Structure 1
Amino acid sequence: MRQAGCTLVLTALVLGLTLAPAFAERDLVPTLDRSFDVCPDRPAEPLWMQEIPLRQAYQRVLVQDIYRAQNLERVVEIGNCDCATRFPSWDAAEAVFRERHASDERWEMLQASDAYNRRANAARPEAQTICDVAGNW
């Protein structure tokens, strides 16, 4: 009898622990609205990037990678991490994409994305130090 009571309590405990995350997940409501803790007024991506077909998403990723590399390098170059420097308009990144990559094949865009990511990752530690001081990281 005592063993049956312990088994029942143990079973209830296990079920309670495994079902609890499911209840918590049900309370989460996904949203497409983007909100940021740092520089909340940053410019939105250009509309064409937001509406790009899934099969061409690599183009959007490339522009995002160009944008990130440019901005982190700019922070390091000028030693300033105000919101306008860290998150400027998308115009410069779009211009680089259109001038250098718009006619590239998919594989060339993927290689370019890799190169821009390497540039951004190289600038990131110094940019983070500058941005930490400004409270914008």
Structure 2
Amino acid sequence: MRLARLTLVLTGVALSLLAVPAFAERNLVPTLDRSFNVCPDRPAEPVWMQEIPLRQAYQRVLVQDIYRAQNLERIVETGSCDCETRFPSWEAAEAVFREVHASDERWEMLEASDGYNGRANTARTVAKAICDAAGNW
């Protein structure tokens, strides 16, 4: 009798736990719209980056890494974190990619991404402090 009661209780607990995620999932509404709390009018990535084939996604990642490093370094250099400084057009990052990296092999682009990430991480702490003060982080 005691084993049957324990089995019944455990079954009830298990079923109630399964119901919670299903209920929570029903409240989620997937969307492809991007909205931001900070600097909502950010420029979109160039179309060619959005349409890049999956096998060449490392190229898109490299341009994103260049963009991030440039922007964080610019914030530190200027001491300003207005939206135009933090999220400028993608032209400068695209230019660096085309002039310096477009003909690189995949492994060279991956190494370059690591370098740009290092630069961004070096500037991040100071840039974050500047942007926090401006309310743009």
Structure 2 distance, partners of 1:52, 1:18, is: 39
Give the corresponding residue for 1:84: 84
Give, in angstroms, the shift of residue 7 of structure 1: 4.5
Give, in angstroms, the shift of residue 6 of structure 1: 5.7
Give the corresponding residue for 1:37: 37
Structure 1 distance, partners of 2:55, 2:7, is: 53
The amino acid of 1:51's aligned partner reads E
The amino acid of 2:68's aligned partner reads R
Which stretch of the first structure deviates more once superposed, 109-118 or 8-17?
Answer: 8-17
Give, in angstroms, the shift of residue 30 of structure 1: 2.1
Q: Deviations over 1:65-95 (max 9, x none)?
A: 0000000000000000000000000000000
Answer yes or no: is 1:56 the counterpart of 2:56. yes
Alignment of 1:1-137 (within 5 A): 4-5=4-5, 7-137=7-137
Pairs aligned (count): 137
Alignment partner of 1:48: what SS? helix
The amino acid of 1:41's aligned partner reads D
Structure 2 distance, partners of 1:28, 1:125, is: 34
Structure 2 distance, partners of 1:128, 1:45, is: 22
TM-score if structure 2 supplies the norm length? 0.92
The amino acid of 2:17's aligned partner reads L
Alignment partner of 1:69: what SS? helix
The amino acid of 1:32's aligned partner reads L
**Consecutive unaligned residues in structure 1, runs of 5 or more:** none
Structure 2 distance, partners of 1:23, 1:136, is: 35
The amino acid of 1:132's aligned partner reads D
Give, in angstroms, the shift of residue 37 of structure 1: 1.1
Q: Equivalent pairs: percent with the same residue?
A: 80
Which stretch of the first structure deviates more once superposed, 27-36 or 45-54?
Answer: 27-36
Which stretch of the first structure deviates more once superposed, 1-10 or 126-135?
Answer: 1-10
TM-score if structure 1 supplies the norm length? 0.92
Which stretch of the first structure deviates more once superposed, 58-67 or 21-30?
Answer: 21-30
Q: What do you get for the CA RMSD once the two structures are aligned?
A: 1.5
**Consecutive unaligned residues in structure 2, runs of 5 or more:** none
